């Protein structure tokens, strides 16, 4: 049995979370400005806190898109400026372009806001619940069953990896590069073999149980669509769009 992560929105219909994240995503894609992007970021962060996610977990999930966006902004600032725009030559072929830096920050903030909308949906809706939702809307069971099996095997591999890594560090040590290399080599070899064995055992167990289906292994369902919650989502989106337009038009 796959146990979903615990949030305040766990029993809410996934369509409500999809409506919230999708609407905020459209608002983030509306304009390439820093102001609207910051508004969407604030709203998605507040929504994540309202769902019961811890600030540490939310910051950890947003760290990867933030790092990617930060690295993507650098080429805009170091690119050769367009004709008629200001820019200072730093070296042969390298330019510092204030206009490009401002443009890069605007594009990067919009990309980060879009990523926060996706992370909000992923953080509040476990992927096996998404598989169950896809199955109920008519997606073939072969695809949804493969998704659930992959999730289960991933959890097993992660648990085995952590256990083997701890055992290898205690046995071989972690005080030098040679010890770390031996630890990594033995861990990779053992984990590959263990993954194949676990996958074979999982397949054999499913055959003995008479097959596999997403509906049988995903625990529970969810509440029906709530008109009150949908109205609340629409109010949040309208307020976000109004605030984003206000910030975008302000000098």
State how far the Cα of 198 lies from the Cα of 190, in Å rounded to an integer.
12
pTM above 0.85, yes or no: no
Domain boundaries, the chain: 14-125+223-249, 133-217
Give the largest Cα separation in the chain, rounded.
Answer: 73
Structure confidence at residue 174 (pLDDT): 60
Q: What is the pLDDT of residue 131?
A: 73
DSSP letters spanning the chain? -BPPPP-TTTTS-HHHHHHHHHHHHHHHTT---HHHHHHHHHHHHHHHHHHT--HHHHHHHHHHHHHHHHHHHHHHHHSPPPTTS--EEEETTEEE-HHHHHHHHHHHHHHHHHHHHHHHHHHHS-HHHHHHHHHHTT--HHHHHHHHHHHHHHHHHHHHHHHHHHHHHHHH-SSSHHHHHHHHHHHHHHHHHHHHHHHHHHHHHHHHTT---HHHHB----PPP-HHHHHHHHHHHHHHHHHHHHHHH--
pLDDT of the chain, 251 residues: tens digit per residue: 334 456 778 778 878 888 999 999 999 988 878 888 999 999 999 999 988 888 888 888 888 888 888 888 887 777 654 444 444 444 455 567 777 778 888 888 999 999 999 889 888 877 777 777 777 777 777 777 777 777 777 777 777 777 777 776 776 666 666 666 666 666 776 777 777 777 777 667 666 665 555 555 555 566 777 889 899 999 999 999 999 888 876 55
């Amino acid at each position: 049995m796959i146990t979903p992560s615990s949030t305040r929105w766990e029993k809410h219909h996934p369509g409500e979370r999809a409506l919230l994240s999708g609407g905020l995503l459209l608002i983030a894609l509306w304009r390439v400005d820093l102001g609207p992007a910051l508004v969407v970021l604030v709203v998605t962060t507040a929504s994540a806190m309202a769902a019961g996610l811890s600030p540490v977990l939310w910051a950890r999930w947003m760290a990867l898109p933030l790092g990617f966006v930060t690295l993507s902004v650098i080429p805009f600032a170091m690119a050769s400026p367009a004709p008629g725009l200001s820019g200072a030559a730093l070296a042969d072929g390298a330019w510092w372009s204030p206009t490009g830096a401002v443009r890069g920050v605007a594009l990067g903030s919009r990309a980060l806001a879009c990523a926060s909308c996706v992370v909000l949906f992923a953080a509040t809706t476990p992927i096996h619940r998404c598989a169950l939702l896809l199955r109920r809307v008519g997606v073939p069971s072969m695809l949804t069953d493969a998704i659930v099996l992959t999730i289960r095997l991933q959890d097993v591999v992660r648990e085995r990896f952590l256990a083997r890594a701890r055992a290898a560090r205690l046995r071989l040590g972690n005080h030098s590069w040679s010890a770390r290399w031996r630890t990594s080599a033995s861990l990779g070899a053992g984990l590959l073999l263990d993954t194949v064995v676990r996958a074979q055992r999982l397949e054999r167990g499913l055959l003995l149980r008479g097959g596999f289906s997403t509906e049988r292994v995903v625990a529970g369902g969810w509440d029906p669509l709530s008109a009150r919650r949908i109205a609340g989502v629409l109010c949040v989106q309208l307020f976000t769009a109004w605030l984003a337009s206000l910030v975008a038009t302000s000098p």
